[in-house]
């Protein structure tokens, strides 16, 4: 009985893998852009504390006058807020 159950599970996994393979190939054939669907480029901004590049829509922001600064983490944002800054 256990052998039959293992064969059924194995068959289901194989069918699922084949289904995903065929679906991926089909999706790739429909993509006419040639770049795998990466049509939208997003400009990255650099965290002024650690230098990490982040996507502005996902980054933490802090207004510095009229300028908006973007940070990769709360830790970097807090470090920037504590940092004494002179006139720029």
Residue 88 structure tokens: 């720029």
Q: Which of 86, 83, 85, 56 is nearest to 72 (CA)?
A: 56
pLDDT for res 75: 94
pLDDT for res 38: 59
pLDDT for res 35: 61
Q: Which of 54, 84, 88 is nearest to 69 (CA)?
A: 54
* Tens digit of each residue's pLDDT, the chain (88 residues): 888 999 999 999 999 999 999 999 988 888 666 665 556 788 999 999 999 999 999 999 988 788 899 999 999 999 998 888 755 4
* pTM reported for the whole predicted model: 0.51
CB count within 10 Å of CB 60 equals 16
Task: Give the Cα-Cα-Cα angle 72, 76, 78 (nearest 5 degrees).
Answer: 130
Provide the H-helix boundaries in 1-88: 2-30, 74-82
Paired strand residues for 70: 61
């Amino acid at each position: 009985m256990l052998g039959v159950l293992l064969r059924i599970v194995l068959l289901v996994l194989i069918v699922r893998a084949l289904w995903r393979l065929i679906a991926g190939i089909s999706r790739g054939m429909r993509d006419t852009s040639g770049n795998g669907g990466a049509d939208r480029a997003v400009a990255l901004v650099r965290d002024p504390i650690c230098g990490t590049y982040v996507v502005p829509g996902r980054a933490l922001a802090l207004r510095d006058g009229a300028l908006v600064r973007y940070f990769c983490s709360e830790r970097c944002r807090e470090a920037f807020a504590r940092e004494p800054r002179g006139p720029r």
